[in-house]
Amino acid sequence: MRDVVANIDLSETSVRDLNARLHAVAPDTNDKSFSVLNPNGAHAIAAGLTEALHVGIEGHVGYYCAGMNQEAVVEIHGNAGTGVAENIMSGEVRVHGNASQSAGASGHGGLVVIGGDASARCGISMKGVDIVVGGSVGHMSAFMAQAGYLVVRGDAGHDLGDSIYEAVLYIAGKVESLGSDCVEKDMTDAHKATLTHLLRRAGMDADANGFRRFGSARTLYNFKIDNAGQY
């Protein structure tokens, strides 16, 4: 539990003023905890943070909350709109409710935790972020996923990992269908250890034994005549 330093009420303050204030926090200050009230679905809340702040948001946010996050810990006590933590570089973004589509899109690092369900395109184009979803993910999740881990305790929708590169997917529930070049792979003790660590970081109590691993078959890495149907 942190001492909350500042309450910022978005029914009285603009998102611009909120973000300007968060961007202006000096690296050497101790006053780094914020609580954002009445988000009411506003967009780009806490986007572009660069310092190790703690930002708690009380309610539902719109698109691109914590977009391009660096270092900060952002917690959304509600649901998130499209593109939560898009292009996250480091730090953590936790959504206690559900996330809309493209959660963690093109994320490069850090951790994104969705307590409930994520929608379509969870982890699309991910480039190193780790995403842990307590519920299910929608169709086209991990589309063109290049690096990082996607962990899903629930089910995955159609076309999981379509055109996937080197990201690794751990799914506990059922997978509606697999995308181009995405295949099930074996689960060794090493994989289970990695998965256990991810679940622990996410604060989730789950048994790695219940998961399956998916990744790239790597048949699309160089253009070949006989794979034309996959394109």
Instruction: Return residues touching other proteins (CB under 8 A).
Output: 15-16, 19-20, 23, 40-44, 47-48, 50, 59-60, 62-64, 67-68, 70, 78-79, 81-83, 86-87, 89, 97-98, 100-102, 105-106, 108, 119-121, 124-125, 127-128, 138-139, 143-144, 146-147, 157, 163, 165-166, 220-223, 225-226, 228
Token couple for 95:
């959504």
Shortest separation between residue 223's beta carbon and other proteins, angstroms: 5
Q: How far is the CB of 205 from other proteins (least distance, A)?
A: 25
Min. distance of Cβ 220 from other proteins in angstroms? Answer: 7
30 vs 222, which CB is nearer to other proteins?
222
Nearer to other proteins, 86 or 130 (CB): 86
Cβ of 147: how many Cβ atoms within 10 Å? 15
In this structure, which amino acid lies at residue 207?
D
Q: What is the 3-state secondary structure of 179-228?
A: CCCEEEECCCHHHHHHHHHHHHHHCCCCCHHHCEEEEECCCCCCCCHHHH
Strand (E) or helix (H) holding 135: none
Which is nearer to other proteins, 42 or 168 (by Cβ)? 42
Q: Which is nearer to other proteins, 31 or 166 (CB)?
A: 166
CB of 147 to other proteins, least distance (A): 5
Residue owning tokens 């590169």:
165
Least distance (Å) between residue 198 CB and other proteins: 19
C-alpha–C-alpha distance, residues 98 and 119, integer Å: 8
Q: Measured from the CB atom, is 180 or 199 closer to other proteins?
A: 180
Shortest Å distance, C-beta 187 to other proteins = 22
Burial class (CB in 10 A: 0-12, 13-18, 19+), 212: middle
DSSP assignment string, 45-110: TTTT--S--EEEEES---TTTTTT--S-EEEEES-B-TTTTTT--SSEEEESS-B-TTTTTT--SS
- Identity of the residue, 165 or 211, whose beta carbon is nearer to other proteins in the bound complex: 165
